[in-house]
Amino acid sequence: MAKNKKINVLGIDVAVYEDNKEDFMSLTDIARQRDSERSDYILQNWMRNRSTIEFIGLWEKFNNPNFNSIEFDGIKNMAGSNSFSLTPKRWIETTNAIGVVSKSGRYGGTFAHKDIAFEFATWLSAEFKFYLIKEFQRLKEEESSNKKLEWSLQRTISKINYTIHTDAIKEKLIPLIVSKNQKNFIYADEADLLNVALFGKTAKEWRDENPDEKGNIRDGASIEQLVVLSNLESINAMLIQQNVVQNERLLKLNEIAIQQMKSLIKSNVLNKLK
Q: Give residue 171's pLDDT band: very low, low, confident or very high (50, 70, 90).
A: very low
Is it the case that residue 9 has pLDDT exceeding 80? yes
Most confident of 203-207, 218-222, 266-270: 203-207
Measured in Å, how far apart are the chain's first and last C-alpha atoms? 32
Residue 32 contacts residue 124 (beta carbons within 8 Å): no
pLDDT at 94 over 90: yes
3-state helix, strand, coil split of the chain in percent (to 5) is 60, 10, 30
CA gap 177, 184 in Å, rounded: 14
Average pLDDT, the chain: 81
CA 128 from chain centre, in angstroms, equals 30
Confidence grade of residue 233 (pLDDT, cut at 50, 70, 90): confident
pLDDT score recorded for residue 170: 36
Q: Give the SS3 label for residue 134.
A: helix
**Closest by CA position to 124, among listed 31, 54, 44:** 31
Q: What is the pLDDT of residue 100?
A: 94
Q: How sure is the predictor about 1, in pLDDT bands with cuts at 50, 70 and 90?
A: very low
Taking the domains of the chain in order of start, what are their residue ranges? 5-137, 153-273
pLDDT bin (cut points 50, 70, 90) of residue 243 is confident
Phi, psi of 169 (to 5 degrees): -100, 110
Checking if the pLDDT of 256 tops 60, the result is yes
The neighbour count for residue 150, using CB atoms within 10 Å, is 9
The pLDDT score that the predictor gives to residue 15 is: 92
Q: Which residue has the higher pLDDT, 231 or 269?
A: 231
Question: pLDDT value at position 165?
Answer: 38
Please give the backbone phi and psi of residue 247, each rounded to the nearest 5 degrees, phi first.
Answer: -65, -30
Averaged over 153-180, what is the pLDDT?
52
The residue among 192, 191, 171 whose CA lies nearest residue 182 is 192
Q: How many angstroms separate the CA atoms of 158 and 227, rounded? A: 11
* Whether pLDDT at 38 is above 90: no
CB distance 95 to 68 below 8 Å = yes
Q: How confident is the model at residue 244 (pLDDT cuts 50, 70, 90)?
A: confident
Nearest to 10 by CA among 28, 24, 29: 29
Mean predicted confidence (pLDDT) in 225-233: 84
- Secondary structure (DSSP) of 211-245: TT--S-TTTT--HHHHHHHHHHHHHHHHHHHTT--
Model confidence pLDDT, tens digit, residues 138-161? 888 887 776 666 666 555 555 555
Q: Which of 86-90, 101-105, 119-123, 159-163 has the lowest mean pLDDT?
A: 159-163
Q: What is the pLDDT of residues 46-72, one digit of tens each?
A: 998 899 999 999 999 999 999 999 999
Looking at residues 171-195, what average pLDDT do you find? 69
CB-CB contact of 94 with 75 (8 Å):
yes
